[in-house]
A and B are shown apart, each in its own frame.
Chain A
Amino acid sequence: MSLEIDHVTKRFGTTTALDGLAFEVARGEVFGFLGANGAGKTTTMRICLGIVRADEGEIRWDGRPTGELPRRTWGYLPEERGLYPRMAVLDQLVYYGSLYGEPPDRARREALAWLTRFRIPEYAGRRAEELSKGNQQKVQFIAAVLHGPDVLLMDEPFTGLDPVNLVLLREAFMELRDRGRTLIFSTHQMEMAEAMCESVAIIDHGRLMAGGRVRDLKRASGRRSLRLAVDGDAAPRWLAELPEVEALRTGAGGSELELVPGADPAAILAAVLSRGGSVTRFEVVEPSLEALFIEHVGRPADDEATLAPEVVSPSLQAGGVA
């Protein structure tokens, strides 16, 4: 059983939003839908929900076209955040639950359980307009999952959340996955996608650039990265001139070097040591999802290039080499 995006094409006037897009998402999987702004992620989700109709191709869940499925098959967290501003949070959740066919009493119980889990039970009686953006985001997530959908489609679900709420949402994702739900989300936060997704689809201008299990994609790329920190010079620029280095991203905690295929990391270590540098971190890693994304799409997903989160092992901190 899976969600099949079967060569879907969608045009808006002269603009082709989706151009024969095709990939598959297995049931019970956390799936990352990656692409630059305007790549076609939201359009794909809207076609899944029947909000927008495809010009060509079809989307099927469990072998059935999405138009034949009951609405409660889907849970949707749109990118545009929107709740009725003057309506109480709990009333709003019961309302959406009822529209999806949940009995009001059950919807109320479920809503209160989710609010408690997200540490905002005291907001049940408050108007949505009184909540912070992050808390509205959590309420909207609850509205999407309250009726227990088979497939959860989320457009940029992490935007506007602080680190604590990110963890809460991430835990909720994992729990839903363990219950057999299929979670599909789009994001620009590659580190979140890397941490949570078993599979991804990278799309650009409505076309699939790469797709499949993250592990397989990384292996198939034949690339490796090197995380390196040198005492006294966290970001030595000369590293970029080494023949083994294809790209260099520097940050306060060190540098991330993308190696050319077949490059020997030891040669880089030797080069650093030969310059008298004291290496405080040396880690050979598979290419990041961000690196894969850039490789396929050719530019950063966001306006700013971001460095992968700093991971400093105790051994490196002690001056050793991993």
Chain B
Amino acid sequence: MAGRDPLLPNAWIVARREYRDRVRGPLFLASTIVLMALGMLVAVAPIGIRYLDRQTVTRIAVVSDDADLAVRATAVADSLLNILPQGADPAAWEKPYRIERSGDRAGVDAALSKGDLAGVLLVQRLPSGQVDVVLRSNEGASSARAQLLGLAAFGIGVLDWSSRLPSGNAVDPFQPAAFRVEALNTATEGGRPLDAQEAASRGFLGIVFVVLLFITVVIYGMWVATGVASEKSSRVMELMISAASPRQMLTGKVVGIGAAGLSQYIVIALPTLLIIAFQDRIAQLVLGPSWSEGAPIVGLSPGLLAAYGVFFLLGFVLFALIYAAMGSFVSRPDDLQTLSLPLSLLATVGYLTAIVALGGGSGLWVTVASFLPPFSPFVMLARLMVSAIEPWQVLLSIGLLVGSIAVVAVAASRMYAAGVLLYGQRPGIRAFVAAARKA
């Protein structure tokens, strides 16, 4: 049959109908508008949070019986928590933290429990001479603020020790040690290691890209599966299968429904990404120049964007075909619910592995999964964002992905044709496999 039925133009005609059928629906329009608004809201949220932050000054009280210790502790905490942002005007900048010295222990505890204080730093000298610092806070020990104050405790100790050195002693003045990280497997840009801001941006964007890919694959994949299954189970199929071959119909469906999904995705993602791209300028406009902290996409390069486009498109096509094959297998759209779980688990494995990779994980499974379809679109994308990847590795991953798409396309086409050949029947798996062999 394939010989007498070239793929085009019928696949294109089917694709066009499927596309129009979806994008012209009022539900499509409504959901696109809602999701676009939601996406923009999420993108603008960091500015809103910073705006709210600007309205409030976080208070931390320092309590100590030792006046000198109290002064030093206040000074160190102030210097570590109130770091002037890059490019901000010191005269116009307002400190986000107010470090207050207090002698009223009961009063600060009450203020802490009421939420008026974010934390209380209890500083005292033990009989051994050691400085003891306790942070009382409603946050956990792993919060960034707790860690900074932990560093402050060390500074307080050093200052206290140096203040008790005998005067006139021939000791060199204290010099803080220099510190830098030489990471061997971090991303580079043009051979240059990324600075901290770029690296953070890459991590953030990696999460955004992987999440977007996961959501897109699962949601629009189900669109494809439902489209295939519902037509197969509907009476329209009888007329369609006399007019077009299964291969033409399947290709048209995957392309048409996939394009409708991508259209919605682009309409949602584009304004969201634009807001993210110009977040610093928007923040400057809304919050003033002192609140510009650099755009979240500062680490994004054209090469990375292209890689994202390639892996996104190939991953999308691969999963769309897998979902289409699943839609071919069932006789009613209701049955898709059962089959969708294992398939979404496949995508979930890829997603979780990618999250591990974004967190710096580089174990054997992460490496293997970055080449192994259908996980590779997630994992190789994640590795590209945060690690140094050789070009041949990227090309090999893409090549394997393209190869798997070809294999899955043939399998999906056979499954769809088998579903068509068994039209009107309720076949068992054996009959289905037999029909797929003949298809």
Contact = CB atoms under 8 A, between A and B. Distances in A.
Contacts of B421: 51-53
Interface in B423-439: 423, 425, 431, 438
Interface in B1-24: 1, 4-5, 9-10, 13-14, 17, 21
- Identify whether the interface residues of B are mostly helix, strand, loop, or mixed: helix
A82 B238 contact: yes
Nearest to B244: A99
Contacts of A71: 4-5, 242-245
A299 interface: no
Contacts of A96: 239, 243
B236 interface: yes
B217 interface: no
A238 interface: no
A49 B438 contact: no
A76 interface: yes
Contacts of B235: 78, 80-82
Task: Give the bracket for the number of chain B residues in contact with chain A.
Answer: 20 to 34
Given A50-B1, A53-B438, A100 B243 contact: yes
Interface in B387-427: 420-421, 423, 425
A151 to B, nearest CB: 12
A12 B434 CA distance: 12
Contact of A49 (B9, B21, B234, B242): B242
B241 interface: yes
B175 to A, nearest CB: 77
Contacts of A143: 239
B243 A99 contact: yes
A114 to B, nearest CB: 16
Contact of A80 (B13, B14, B238, B243): B238
A258 B244 CA distance: 48
A13 B236 CA distance: 26
Interface in A95-145: 95-96, 98-100, 140, 143
B13 A98 contact: yes
B241 A82 contact: no
Contacts of B237: 82
A68 B4 contact: yes
Given A49-B242, A78-B238, A81-B235, A67 B17 contact: no
A167 interface: no
B239 A78 contact: yes
B239 to A, nearest CB: 6
B10 A86 contact: no
Given A12-B425, A71-B243, A95-B13, A84 B1 contact: no
Given A12-B425, A50-B1, A76 B242 contact: yes
Nearest to B246: A51
A87 interface: yes
Interface in A56-110: 67-71, 74, 76, 78-84, 86-87, 95-96, 98-100
A87 B242 contact: no
A50 B5 CA distance: 12
A195 B19 CA distance: 45
Nearest to B249: A99
Contacts of A70: 4
A140 B242 contact: no
Contacts of A84: 21, 236
Nearest to A97: B243
Nearest to B424: A80
Interface string B325-337: 0000000000000
A49 B4 CA distance: 13
Interface string B232-259: 0011111111111100000000000000
Given A51-B420, A67-B1, A95-B13, A74 B242 contact: yes
A74 B243 CA distance: 9
Interface centre among B4, B9, B242, B243 (most CB of A within 10 A): B242
A200 B239 CA distance: 25
Contacts of A86: 21, 25
Nearest to A84: B236
Contacts of B10: 99
A55 to B, nearest CB: 11
A105 to B, nearest CB: 15
A51 B245 CA distance: 9
Contacts of B5: 71
Given A67-B1, A84-B236, A95 B242 contact: no
Nearest to B237: A82
A284 B414 CA distance: 59
Contacts of B420: 51
Interface string A268-296: 00000000000000000000000000000
A51 B243 contact: no
A301 to B, nearest CB: 21
Nearest to B252: A99
Contact of A140 (B239, B240, B243, B431): B239
A86 B21 CA distance: 8
B12 to A, nearest CB: 10
A100 B239 CA distance: 12
A82 B239 contact: yes
A101 B278 CA distance: 50
Contact of B17 (A50, A52, A68, A95): A95
Contacts of A74: 242
B255 to A, nearest CB: 15
Contact of B21 (A69, A87, A98): A87
Interface in A5-21: 12-13
Contact of A99 (B13, B236, B238, B423): B13
Contacts of A76: 238-239, 242
Contacts of B21: 84, 86-87
Interface of A: 12-13, 49-53, 67-71, 74, 76, 78-84, 86-87, 95-96, 98-100, 140, 143
Given A51-B421, A78-B242, 16 more contacts: A49-B241, A51-B241, A51-B423, A53-B421, A67-B4, A71-B244, A74-B242, A76-B238, A78-B239, A80-B238, A81-B235, A82-B236, A82-B239, A84-B21, A95-B17, A96-B243
Across the A-B interface, the 3 shortest Cβ-Cβ residue pairs = A82-B235, A78-B238, A76-B242
19 contacts: A53-B438, A67-B1, A67-B4, A69-B4, A71-B5, A71-B242, A71-B244, A76-B242, A78-B235, A79-B238, A80-B235, A80-B238, A82-B238, A84-B236, A86-B21, A87-B21, A96-B243, A99-B14, A143-B239
